């Protein structure tokens, strides 16, 4: 009972660091300040997080997860498109209500590097977009849609954060959201066939017109589509 495990001190450090970040901003997050606030010696940080960057990554992920669970936002409405909207709004809310954490996640962009928390957010986004694709509502590839949504959303948040609160455009987020959705979503509400064979049949029907495939590829694909349709 109440044994001081390693995960305990890890949690305590992250908690103290998060409080420090919210209170004094990013510059307040020195290894000494964090270790003092957590009642731990400085070397402990390096044993647990390896590096100061490791600590910052962990703090960002901690703040992000904490926000998500506080919102109990993992639920699904059943409508994938509606879930995508809610995911967008939740993302913007998080960025504006905890700007220091958000900048920690996305602001320190070094070429080719992504923070674990950002990767986590991206994975969530991708899974929603995939469900939109399964519902037949997507007009571009999952990959492109996810990237477009992600880039735009991040730009909106960082741009709003950089704008003094009284000068912000309150509708910028919604405008951007609907602009992007209009680009990646199909207009029709009708389902494109929930079962795989139906989708294969629908694609097979229009395959002749495409220029994206060579003749040989088209022939082979038609064969495969038939296999799926008849499975």
Partner DNA sequence: TGAATCAACGTATCACCGATACCGAACGAG
Partner DNA sequence: CTCGTTCGGTATCGGTGATACGTTGATTCA
Closer residue to DNA in complex, CB, 25/43 = 43
Closer residue to a copy of itself in complex, CB, 6/151 = 151
* Binding residue for a copy of itself, selected from 6, 123, 205, 219, defined by CB under 8 A: 205
Q: Does the protein bind a copy of itself through residue 231 (CB under 8 A)?
A: yes
Q: What is the nearest approach in angstroms of DNA to the Cβ of residue 103?
A: 16
Question: Under a CB-based contact definition with an 8 Å cutoff, are residues 80 and 68 in contact?
Answer: no
Distance CA 208, CA 225 (A): 13
Q: Which of residues 68-97 bind DNA (CB under 7 A)?
A: none
Q: Which tokens go with 185? A: 């979503």
Closer residue to DNA in complex, CB, 38/80 = 38
Q: Which of 139, 106, 145 is nearest to 125 (CA)?
A: 145
Closer residue to DNA in complex, CB, 6/182 = 6
Report helix, strand or coil for 80. helix
Q: What is the nearest approach in angstroms of DNA to the Cβ of residue 19?
A: 16
Q: Which tokens go with 126? A: 């991708």
Report helix, strand or coil for 57. helix
Question: Pick from DNA, a copy of itself, none: which does 47 bind, CB < 5 to 8 A by kind?
Answer: DNA
Q: Does the protein bind a copy of itself through residue 198 (CB under 8 A)?
A: yes
* Binding residue for DNA, selected from 12, 46, 108, 136, defined by CB under 7 A: 46
DSSP string, 61-123: HHHHHHHHHHHTTT---S-HHHHHHHHHHHHHHHHHHSHHHHIIIIIT--TT---HHHHHHHH
Q: Which of residues 37-96 bind a copy of itself (CB under 8 A)?
A: none
């Amino acid at each position: 009972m109440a044994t001081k495990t390693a995960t305990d001190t890890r949690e305590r450090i992250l908690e103290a660091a998060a409080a420090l970040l919210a209170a004094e901003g990013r510059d307040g997050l020195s290894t000494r300040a964090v270790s003092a606030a957590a009642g731990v010696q400085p070397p402990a940080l390096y044993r647990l997080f390896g590096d100061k960057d490791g600590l910052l990554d962990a703090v960002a992920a901690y703040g992000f997860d904490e926000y998500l669970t506080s919102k109990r936002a993992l639920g699904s409405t059943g409508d994938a498109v509606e879930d995508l909207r809610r995911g967008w709004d939740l993302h913007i809310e998080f960025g504006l209500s905890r700007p220091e954490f958000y900048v920690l996640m996305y602001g320190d962009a070094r070429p080719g590097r992504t923070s674990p928390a950002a990767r986590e957010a991206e994975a969530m986004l991708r899974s929603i977009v995939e469900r939109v694709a399964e519902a037949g509502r997507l007009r571009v590839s999952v990959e492109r849609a996810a990237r477009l949504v992600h880039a735009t959303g991040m730009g909106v948040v960082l741009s709003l954060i950089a704008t003094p609160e009284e000068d912000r455009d309150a509708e910028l987020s919604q405008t951007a959201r609907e602009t992007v959705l209009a680009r990646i979503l199909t207009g029709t509400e009708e389902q494109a066939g929930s079962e795989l064979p139906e989708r294969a049949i629908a694609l097979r029907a229009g395959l002749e017109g495409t220029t994206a495939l060579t003749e040989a590829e088209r022939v082979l694909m038609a064969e495969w589509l038939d296999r799926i349709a008849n499975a």
